[in-house]
Amino acid sequence: MKPTVLVTGGAGFLGSHLCDRLIAAGNDVLCVDNFYTGNRDNIRHLLGHPSFELMRHDVMLPLYVQVDQIYNLACAASPVHYQTDPVGTTKTSVMGAINMLGLAKRQQARVLQASTSEVYGDPRQHPQREDYWGHVNPIGVRACYDEGKRCAETLFFDYHRQSAVDIRIIRIFNTYGPRLQMHDGRAVGNFILQALRGEPLTIYGDGSQTRSFCYVDDLIEGMVRTMDQNDAVGPVNLGNPVECTILELAETVLELTGSKSELVYNPLPFDDPVRRQPDISLARKLLDWSPQVELKDGLRETIAYFKTLL
Distant-in-sequence, close-in-space partners of 230: CB < 8 Å, separation ≥ 6: none
At 258 the three-state DSSP class reads coil
176 is catalytic: no
Per the residue annotation, which of 71, 82, 120, 145 is the catalytic one? 145
- Residue 233's CB: how many other CB atoms inside 10 A? 19
Distant-in-sequence, close-in-space partners of 70: CB < 8 Å, separation ≥ 6: 5, 6, 8, 100, 103, 104, 109, 110, 111, 112
Whether 159 contacts 165, CB under 8 Å = yes
Distance, CA of 246 to CA of 222 (rounded, Å): 25
Distance, CA of 273 to CA of 72 (rounded, Å): 25
Instruction: Quickly list H helices, 181-269.
Output: 187-197, 216-228, 246-257
Distance, CA of 4 to CA of 19 (rounded, Å): 12
Distance, CA of 72 to CA of 70 (rounded, Å): 6
CB neighbour class for 232 (10 Å; exposed up to 12, middle 13-18, buried from 19): middle
Q: Which of 127, 151, 115 is nearest to 277 (CA)?
A: 127
Distant-in-sequence, close-in-space partners of 297: CB < 8 Å, separation ≥ 6: 215
Distant-in-sequence, close-in-space partners of 299: CB < 8 Å, separation ≥ 6: 176, 188, 192, 252, 253, 256
Annotated active-site positions, please? 145
